[in-house]
Amino acid sequence: MTATNDEWKGLEKTYAMIKPDAVAAGKVDDILKIAEDAGFVVVRRQEQRMDAVRAGEFYAEHKGKPFYANLVGFMSSGPIVACCLAKHNAIKDWRALMGPTNTFTAREDAPKSLRAKFGTDGTRNATHGSDSPASAMRELKFFFPNLRLDPIPEGAAAREYVARELQPTLVQALAALAKEKPSANKLEAVKWLADWLRANNPNTPPSYSEAELPLNPDDEAVADGEFFSTVAATADAQDAANVVDALDDLEEMARAATKVQSHFRGHQARRSAAQRRRDALGGGHAETRVAVESHTDVIEMEGDPEELARAAATVQASYRGHRARRDVARMRADADAVAAAAVSGSGEAALSFEGTEEEQSAAVKLQSNFRGHMARREVAAERARAEEEVELARAATRVQAGFRGHLARKQVAGMKGGDA
């Protein structure tokens, strides 16, 4: 009989196994009755038989040791009963209830323990129990892969859990991501964030060296094969709105960098065409290729620093020319608006002349539509100008920053080459 969620919610869980010798002797119910009398809740129990391969997987860390073959043979000799037990301090209390590993020692030192009552010898000692939270998690997942150890919180409880357990770590992770800015590529940014969360997981148990945690051979017998290597628990990364916002910012930067590169490639193409024309006429100099290093990709650069500086100046001049042309277009639009207003005024004056009521109504309607059209066009033009100005300013800033970085790296490489 298994327990309901309310009986074991919030309690510590441990893995308990009744070994083939106790199962063959018909002592399963007796052992579980003693466990329940001691305050344990049986969350899950399942009788199964492990073959040699599965038993070898469970005791894989002992492979190569002298007792490994006998241990695997014994554990695959008959059915076992796998259990998930819950209780406050379940791991420690279950190991205390089992008693010493060796049955003969248990009969002398703890005659009321499970191994003293139902065990046979050092290996056939009736029961097994996890020795740490990490071992309990691993062993429970080995035998109960679909077991949900704690009910999933919902509603307000879920929000409280996220705010308490996840949000502090996510805030630190996003701050580190914003500071590091590893890449404008969304997948690379997510990978960097996942690596940071894995390296800074607050739920990872501390690791200790053998000198820090000495083992006393008198307390436990290794021959039983009950020591399992600790497996560090890795928390799954949870999505949050802040992560999406940060990635959107990176994507916007990538688009700006791509736009700048597109304009710069156009400049290169025009410059190359001009050079080819000069070469065809018998003059000119060798073509210099320039590129920009951005967050999205790296284009190989060739040429001396002075030539690259002139190319950057050309990009800046093109940007200034664009702004000048935009200002001229704005002045032309203002002139058109003045002319339209003059036409509108003359139309209003025309209304003072005699005409039918239908003609006057049509003239008023025409004027109203024209004013609405002009107003909408002016608003749309102003909005487009503002957006384009912001976008081009950002793009120009990024290309200048990337170009200065390239020049600096090129100069450093030149100095290193000179020293060599």
The helix/strand count (H/E) of the chain reads as: 15, 4
For the beta carbon of residue 336, count every other beta carbon within 10 angstroms: 13
Q: Please list the alpha-helical segments (H only) found in 281-356.
A: 305-350
The Cα–Cα gap between 94 and 18 comes to 12
Torsion angle, alpha carbons of 74, 136, 14, 100, to 10:
50
Distances in Å between the Cα of 354 and the Cα atoms of 345, 359, 360 are: 17, 10, 9
Measuring CA to CA, which residue among 266, 376, 385 is closest to residue 315? 266
Contact 85, 37 (CB under 8 A): no
Residues 124/21, Cβ–Cβ less than 8 Å? yes
Question: Is 101 within any annotated ligand binding site?
Answer: yes
Which of 142, 124, 101, 140 is CA-nearest to residue 24? 124
User: Is 111 in contact with 34 (CB distance < 8 Å)?
Assistant: no
Please tell me which residue in 62, 88, 128, 267 is annotated as part of the active site.
128
Q: Give whole-number Cα distances, 161 to 155, 156, 164, 193, 203, in Å.
A: 10, 9, 5, 21, 14
- Phi, psi at 274, each rounded to 5°: -65, -40
Q: Are 38 and 110 in contact (CB under 8 A)?
A: no
Q: Is 369 annotated as a binding residue?
A: no
**Which one-letter amino acid corresponds to residue 337?**
A
Read off the DSSP letter of residue 293.
B
List all residues 6 or more positions away from 89 whose beta carbon is below 8 Å from its beta carbon: 12
**95 carries a ligand binding annotation:** yes
- How buried is 281 (Cβ within 10 angstroms: 0-12 exposed, 13-18 middle, 19+ buried)? exposed
State yes or no: 227 annotated in a binding site. no
C-alpha 13/C-alpha 87 separation (Å) is: 7
Nearest to 196 by CA among 179, 210, 184: 179
Q: Is 125 assigned a ligand-binding role in the annotation?
A: yes
Residue 128 annotated in active site: yes
Cβ-based neighbours of 181, under 8 Å, separated by 6 or more: 250, 295
Task: Report the distance separating Cα 284 and Cα 110, nearest Å.
Answer: 99
Describe the crossing of helices 241-280 and 305-350 by its angle, rounded to 10 degrees: 100
Binding residues: 19, 67, 95, 101, 115, 125
Binding residues for ATP: 19, 67, 95, 101, 115, 125
Indicate which residues carry an active-site annotation.
Answer: 128
